[in-house]
Copies of this chain bind each other. A is one copy, B any other.
Amino acid sequence: MEANKQITNEKPNATQTYTFAYSPDELKLESGEKLGPITLAYETYGKLNPEKSNALLVVHALTGDSHAAGTNGWWENLIGPGKGIDTNKYFVICSNVIGGCKGSTGPSSTNPKTGKPYGLSFPLIGIGDMVEAQKRLIDHLGVEKLMSVVGGSMGGMQVLQWMVSYPYKIRSAIPIATTLNHTPQQIAFNEVGRQAVMADPDWKNGDYYGHCPPAKGLAVARMIGHITYMSDTSMTEKFGRKTRVDKEPFKFAADFEVEGYLRYRGDNFVKRFDANSYLYLTKAIDNFNLLNGHNLGNVFKGLRAKVLVIAFKSDWLYPAYQSQETVKACKLAGIEASYCELNSTYGHDSFLLETEQETKLLGDFLKTVENGGKHT
């Protein structure tokens, strides 16, 4: 079951790829289907120390990618020299998830068996499959044990999955603004997004590559998402009832600034994201369920990592009570878990935007892990 192909671009801190296949078979997925070969696009920041004890895995949310740090990195305020996740001290790895569309194998990739894009022939993937692929990547990079794995939202689910799948491979974990499983409300918002994509005639049952993508449907899905990522308060502070100065002479034009903003974000998203990836990844998070048949006290049984759980008071998409449940599961398993609920008003987006508070929290937490690490 070893990787038999390792590739390619070795320019440091730029996107690199690692392609692996299993011999004799492809990777068996949670669904029972198989997939391979698998390419992961990843970036690294900082240097792995000789003891290989300073590696952190950063995992991204629904529409993120491997470009976590550096210019326009989605967590550039948090990761870098002297920052909360200090790349002068730590070796940071971030890879695009499988199922994604930012360089890793996903529905828009070419199916080697047909020479055409997978489309809907791509198998359903789960959070566990994303983590399985990440595990191969850190093996490939020579990291035996991660100092920490950290991420928010869908990234947080991957963190929780690491705590379950590879408890002996991590010294600490930081799940942010996430949950052990989705409520029906969370599933419902994703389902409406999927319906919006699939209602677009350009979607063509997923077989739109080389043609016009389902841009209108995907834009609507993204607009729904954006509302859920913000809070009532943050929207009121940002837009109020301000109307647009450049409004068009059309009855249903974007009269209010909030409407213009949502349309802009929706239209922009279409240029950078694949509609089928949106379907596959939202389905992966809806299906994610660490409580499936488990007693809460058994979820993290056997884990000996330190855990820092972070939630945000204004986050109504992943409400704080879900993070508190994670903390409870840790405590029941005898794990050293800290919980921090931040007052940010940004809603779910806080995990991306409230980097000043996160800097302090993560910086301090990682120092305790670092010190603990020296004595193990």
- What is the interface of chain A, defined by CB distance below 8 A to chain B? 120, 124, 181-185, 187-189, 191-192, 194-196, 198-201, 216-217, 219-220, 223-224, 226-227, 230-232, 235-236, 238-241, 251-252, 254-259, 262-263, 266, 279, 283, 286-287, 289, 316, 319
**A231 partner residues in chain B, CB cutoff 8 A:** 185
Q: Which single residue of chain B is at the shortest CB-CB distance from A230?
A: B185
**A181 partner residues in chain B, CB cutoff 8 A:** 241
**Are B196 and A220 neighbours in the complex by a CB distance under 8 Å?**
yes
Picked from B192, B226, B262, B287, the residue with its CB within 8 Å of the CB of A224 is B192
**Are A120 and B191 neighbours in the complex by a CB distance under 8 Å?**
no
**Are A198 and B252 neighbours in the complex by a CB distance under 8 Å?**
yes
Q: Which single residue of chain B is at the shortest CB-CB distance from A182?
A: B241
- Number of copies of this chain in the oligomer? 2
Q: Which of A192, A198, A223, A319 has the most CB of B within 10 A?
A: A192
User: A220-B196, A220-B199 given as contacts; is B191 within 8 A of A232 (CB)?
Assistant: no
Picked from B194, B227, B254, B255, the residue with its CB within 8 Å of the CB of A252 is B194
CA distance A199 to B235 in the complex (A): 24
Closest Cβ–Cβ distance, residue A349 to chain B (whole Å)? 13
Q: Which single residue of chain B is at the shortest CB-CB distance from A188?
A: B227
